[in-house]
Amino acid sequence: MNQDSIAIEIKDLKKYFKEVKAVDGVSLKIKKGELFSILGPNGAGKTTLVRMLTTILTPTDGDANVNGHSILTGKNEIVKKIGVCPQVITIYEVLRAEENVEFVAAMHGMPRDESKEKAKKLLEDFGIAGRKDWSKRFSGGMKRRLNLAMSLIFEPEILFLDEPTAGLDPQARRLVWDFIRELKNKDITIILMTHDMVEADSLSDRVAIIDHGKIIAKGTPTELKEKYGSDNALEVSFIEQEDLEIVKKNIQNIPFVANSSEIQRKERKTLIISFQGGLKNLVRLLQQGLIDNIDEVENMKFRQNSLEDVFLNLTGRRLRD
């Protein structure tokens, strides 16, 4: 990878809190203009990693260059070029939407006329322009969209997004996704942290999965699914738990079944069966593993392998809130 094309280079970065190795020797290169997603369960180290990259935390060991500046010695230069949209909504509730965005612009030295014009355009893009009430009266979704606008007003070269669509309804989520795609076309480097696997799959150029402070896999979504997933997945929910256990036992010796995992779907435990061979083997799977218990099946869904399946195969856990 050409050095001039690198936005972030992480070199054996570590952060320890007494006996806890929150980040334990992470090395990574992120290209300019790339949308790079960092996935992992809570406590895996992703938030600590990003806090070091944004200079909020000082590493125990190692270093990282962000936009050509060391996080150890170049904090002042780094913060001028990065935008951060945190998971916890951070707005000034006694200000209106335009005033929030213009305040951030003023902090970065943007001329008032320019900031007013850009703030209006951003708020129009997010569907919250022209609101005259205080932002404390906004819905949670509107506050999150306002937070994103605040992180973009000064046109950062690198943007950190932590759960940018959490709590949004489907329509608002799609609006934010479309806007993020537009940002990619403007060569802004985007670091995305999300629990939404469809979001990561849809938006990401590359993905890193982190667990126990270490990166355990990285690549494009397609590469990860091809390398760590299986061809297909069958989700089956049963009326009774004992029927799930029977089917789980029945499929253990079927050669084209890669693995099976249990997850909680609302009130029911669901069995996810990862297998190879397409629709032909789906029929064989139903015949060999499920046919005797088909009357006890509450719900069944067949789908292509996903990033969630990759995560389960790698860590044995589902991404959690």
Q: Could you tell me the pLDDT band of residue 232, with boundaries at 50, 70 and 90? A: confident
Q: Point out which residues pair with 61 in neighbouring strands.
A: 14
**Residue 317 falls within a domain, yes or no?**
no
Domain membership of residue 219 as a residue range: 3-226
- CATH number, domain at 195? 3.40.50.300
Domain boundary among 226, 249, 278: 226
Residues 65 and 208 in one domain: yes
Statement to judge: residues 198 and 243 lie in one domain: no
Please state the rounded mean pLDDT for residues 278-300.
81
SS3 state of residue 28: strand
Q: Does residue 319 fall inside a structural domain?
A: no
For the cut 60, the answer to whether the pLDDT of residue 320 exceeds it is no
Q: Any residues with CB less than 8 A from the CB of 309 and at least 6 apart, and which?
A: 225, 229, 230, 233, 272, 274
Mean pLDDT of 5-10: 95
Q: Rounded distance, CA 167 to CA 196, Å?
A: 11
Segment 258-285 mean pLDDT:
82
Q: Which residue has the tokens 């180290």?
A: 45
Does residue 289 surpass a pLDDT of 80?
no
For residue 280, name the pLDDT band (cuts at 50, 70, 90): confident
| pLDDT over 50 (residue 296) | yes
Count of alpha carbons within 13 angstroms of residue 10, beta-carbon side: 23
Residues 143-161 have pLDDT tens digits of 888 998 999 888 899 999 9
Structural domain contains residue 315? no
Q: Are residues 54 and 182 in the same domain?
A: yes
Please report which confidence band the pLDDT of residue 258 belongs to, taking 50, 70 and 90 as the band edges. Answer: confident
Residue 320 lies in a domain: no
Residue 1, pLDDT score = 67
Nearest to 256 by CA among 224, 236, 231, 237: 231
Say how far apart CA 290 and CA 217 lie, in whole Å.
33
Same domain, yes or no: 209 and 73: yes
pLDDT for position 3: 67
Given a contact cutoff of 8 angstroms between Cβ atoms, the answer to whether 238 and 260 are in contact is no
Confidence of residue 205 (pLDDT cuts 50, 70, 90): very high
The least confident of 7-21, 111-125, 289-303 is 289-303
131 and 97 in contact (C-beta within 8 Å)?
yes
Domain count of the chain?
2
Q: Which residue has the higher pLDDT, 140 or 51?
A: 51
Q: What is the mean pLDDT of the chain?
A: 88
pLDDT of res. 318: 53
The reply to whether 95 and 41 lie within a common domain is: yes
Average pLDDT of span 118-129 = 88
pLDDT at 230: 63
β-bridge mates for residue 69, sequence order = 66
Instruction: Give the pLDDT confidence score for residue 31 in this predicted structure.
Output: 95
Q: Is residue 13 assigned to a domain?
A: yes
pLDDT at 246 over 70: yes
In this structure, are 255 and 196 located in the same domain?
no
State how far the Cα of 239 lies from the Cα of 246, in Å rounded to an integer.
Answer: 13
> Per-residue pLDDT averaged across 125-147, rounded?
86
Co-location of 24 and 154 in the same domain: yes
Q: Is the pLDDT of residue 321 over 50?
A: no
Phi, psi for residue 159 in degrees, rounded to 5: -120, 125
**Same domain membership, residue 239 and residue 200:** no
Buried-state track 305-321, b at ≥16 Cβ within 10 A, e below 16 = bbbbbbbbbbbeebbee
Residues 143-177 as b/e (b if ≥16 CB within 10 A, e otherwise) read bbbbbbbbbbbbebbbbbbbbbbbebeeebbebbb
pLDDT digits (tens, 9 = 90+) for 102-111: 999 998 888 9
Q: Which of 159, 140, 163 is nearest to 150 (CA)?
A: 159
Mean per-residue pLDDT, 229-254: 85
Does the pLDDT of residue 25 top 90, yes or no? yes
Given this model, what pLDDT does residue 12 score? 97
Rounded-to-5 percentages of helix, strand, coil across the chain? 40, 30, 30
Whether 208 and 165 map to the same domain: the answer is: yes
Residue 123 resides in a domain? yes
Q: What is the pLDDT of residues 30-43, one digit of tens each?
A: 999 999 999 988 88
Tell whether 239 is covered by a domain: yes
Q: What integer pLDDT is reported at residue 185 of this predicted model?
A: 84
Domain C-terminal end among 169, 194, 226: 226
* Per-residue pLDDT at 4 exceeds 80: no
Residue 279: per-residue pLDDT: 80
Residue 121 has pLDDT above 50, yes or no: yes
For residue 267, pLDDT over 90 is answered with: no
CATH number of the domain within which 247 lies: 3.30.70.260
Apex 192 CA angle, 127 and 181, nearest 5: 50
CA distances, 229 to each of 52, 223, 310, 315 (Å): 31, 9, 5, 12
Query: 68 and 199: one domain?
Result: yes
d(C-alpha 9, C-alpha 63), whole Å:
9
